[in-house]
Amino acid sequence: MFGPYAYFIVTSYLAAALVVAVLIAWVAIDYRSQTRRLRKLEQSGVVRRSGRSATEMT
């Protein structure tokens, strides 16, 4: 499809797709990890000074 340059073009786009996928996974996994840790802390009885839930977004 891309003639003699197919390797360079396909590798470039695959590298971009891989890095973007890693970034999205990093953000998603980190979010789940932090909310899980916050819930655990709240379940153990530690609450914010405001008394509001630490995972509250609104």
Binding footprint of another protein on the chain (CB under 8 A): 2-6, 8-9, 11-13, 15-16, 19-20, 22-24, 26-27, 30-31, 34-35, 37-38, 41-42, 44, 46-48, 52, 54-58
What b/e string do you get for 5-39 counting C-beta neighbours within 10 Å, with b at 16 or more? eeeeeeeeeeeeeeeeeeeeeeeeeeeeeeeeebe
CB of residue 18 to another protein, shortest distance in Å: 9
CB of residue 21 to another protein, shortest distance in Å: 11
CB of residue 5 to another protein, shortest distance in Å: 5
Angle value at C-alpha 33, between 25 and 45, nearest 5 degrees: 165
